[in-house]
Amino acid sequence: MGGIVDTVTDTVGGLFGGGGDDGADAARDAASIQAQYQKEALDYLKEREALPQQFREGALGQLGGLYGLEGGAPGANRQIRSNPIFQATIGDTGAQEEAIMRNQSATGALRTSGTEQMLADNQRQRELQAYQNTMGGLTSMANLPSNAGQIAQQTAGIGQTLGQGQIGAAQSQAASQQAGFGNMLGLGSLGLAAFSAFCDPRLKSNAKRIGSMGGYNIYQWDWNDEAKELGLEGKGVGPMADEIEKYEPERIEIRDGYKYVRAA
């Protein structure tokens, strides 16, 4: 490429392929690093949550089974009666019955019906107390603090961080594109009349229109493998030779087998 405008075009291409992409990569990298730290925090929360969650689910299952709720643990009553809290509460029933018997014997009422009633009442009270103590413990376990809210928030935060990285990358590329195109338009009175460059579509890939100048469309593209043989690499900005040829055919010449736009 040659000429003043060509130099500016190279600069614009540098802005498109360098500064904008570098800024976009930096935005993505920063978001990725932040997301990694957030993921480590999330993994820690999940690790801390695993055991309490197991306790909560077990306790809720037993309580649900005892009340006959769907999804409750089968055999919940048997499990509760074998619970250490239940056994510890009911374990001194024998000692209390012996105390009742001694008291009744001392008062001469050992062989009365009242003794049997007192023993039966004591048994019911001890079992009731055992159930209450056991269910109280299960209820406490079912209400263990949960990190579920923090886990959900942290998970959403990772997605938001990565999303912000993509937005930042897009904004960086857009800003770079706008600045580069502004530089190109800044040629002022020179315009496309002073433009000289290889603009053959066969040398370009992923061409997209980014604006217009001097009545011609301006494109951004990637130089392809054919262009590399001419020393053209990375990204480029400018018009298409075919479009200029329609109105100013005198500006089109063939160099190395490809259409070249020369300054007017």
Please report the pLDDT score of residue 205 as a whole number. 94
Q: What value does the mean pLDDT of the chain take?
A: 75
Please report the pLDDT score of residue 207 as a whole number. 93
More confident residue, 18 or 59: 59
Please report the pLDDT score of residue 62 as a whole number. 80
List strand residue ranges (DSSP E) for 118-215, in order. Answer: 197-198, 204-213
What's the start-to-end Cα distance of the chain, in Å?
A: 15
Please report the pLDDT score of residue 63 as a whole number. 81
| pLDDT mean over 164-174 | 69
Please report the pLDDT score of residue 16 as a whole number. 40
Dist CA 68 CA 169 (whole Å): 56
pLDDT at 168 over 80: no
Dist CA 12 CA 184 (whole Å): 7
More confident residue, 188 or 27: 27
| pLDDT mean over 139-163 | 76
- For helices 113-142 and 20-66, give the axis angle rounded to 10 degrees: 170
Please report the pLDDT score of residue 182 as a whole number. 52
Please report the pLDDT score of residue 190 as a whole number. 47
Express as a percent the part of the chain with pLDDT over 90: 11
pTM for the model = 0.37
Long-range contacts formed by 48-57: CB under 8 A, 24+ apart:
48/147, 49/146, 49/147, 49/148, 49/151, 52/144, 52/145, 52/146, 53/146, 55/141, 55/144, 56/141, 56/142, 56/143, 56/144, 56/146
pLDDT tens across 35-94, in order?
787 888 788 778 877 778 888 888 888 888 877 778 778 887 788 788 887 787 776 666
Query: Which residues are CB-neighbours of 105 under 8 A, at least 6 positions away?
Result: none
Dist CA 181 CA 27 (whole Å): 22
Provide the 10 A C-beta neighbour count for residue 171.
Answer: 14
Query: Residue ranges of the domains in the chain?
Result: 24-173, 187-261
